[in-house]
Structure 1
């Protein structure tokens, strides 16, 4: 096994990421996404279980509804993506990099027993590769 294959998601994931609850006001959530310059965030229930993901695309759908039907705002639960692919903290970062190449996703929630423990994004994988190359691993 090469040293890069030994790097796990846990080593480069973002802990304590921005999260929303299903009850979060949609406009407040979008304001956070814009202010933090992120394109999406996990949605968790009161126990920290992953229940969805709110992305820029989800908000654009909400904006279309508002534009055509005159309904503004709402709650994150009304627009979030409910079927979310997640990874585990112990997964190989190389395997996650492969998933990024094969999908349109920019980030994956990281879960342990369905509880959110972090987020790993394409940039985190790039950072891992860069550090690995710099250290000669």
Structure 2
């Protein structure tokens, strides 16, 4: 006669969600954008007014051209003072970062979190067929993390 267990049947471990949580589900789509020919002083005012640290530079068809950040603006101010150059007649296009890293809106948020860590960026534009459709920030990824079950993302 065998030994019987009195522990009863063990519950099956929870399986991770079958559908990944995607970047496009958490990205911002109502963006403050900038134009290449916009005056840098106007861009600085817009950053301050909207309480943002940077934004995408787009053309009239909303194609992504670059990104302008507080750091880009600070560099301009510092260079202008150091080299005694006037701040007038300076466009966003002259100071923006042109080689912009983007991520796919269909990327899993967990993979996006890894990209944020690897590249040390604060935000990533989301582009579809060359057109800016949104942006995801580190805060958006944190929001997604709170919505995941603890079994899927251990917090």
TM-score (norm 1): 0.91
Gaps of 5+ in 1: none
- In structure 2, distance between residues paired with 1:4 and 1:65: 52
Q: Does 1:89 align with 2:102?
A: no
Match of 2:43 in 1: 29
- In structure 2, distance between residues paired with 1:5 and 1:85: 26
Work out whether residues 5 and 94 of structure 1, in 8 Å CA contact, stay in contact via their aligned partners in 2: no
Which one of the candidate residues 141, 149, 154 is aligned to 1:125? Answer: 141
**Equivalent residue of 2:47, what SS?**
helix
Deviations 1:19-60 (A, max 9, x none): 001011111111111122211100011111101000111111
Question: In the comparison of the two structures, how many residue pairs are matched?
Answer: 136
Match of 1:47 in 2: 61
| RMSD, aligned α-carbons | 1.9
- In structure 1, distance between residues paired with 2:96 and 2:140: 24
Greater shift after overlay, 116-125 or 90-99? Answer: 90-99
Match of 1:16 in 2: 30
Greater shift after overlay, 27-36 or 80-89? Answer: 27-36
- Cα offset for 1:5? 6.9
Q: Does 1:113 align with 2:136?
A: no
Which one of the candidate residues 49, 70, 84 is aligned to 2:85? Answer: 70
- Cα offset for 1:4? 8.8
TM-score (norm 2): 0.81
1:3/1:113 CA distance change after superposition, 3 Å: same
Larger helix percent: 1
Structure 1 runs (4+) deviating above 4 angstroms are none
Gaps of 5+ in 2: 1-14
1:4/1:79 CA distance change after superposition, 3 Å: farther
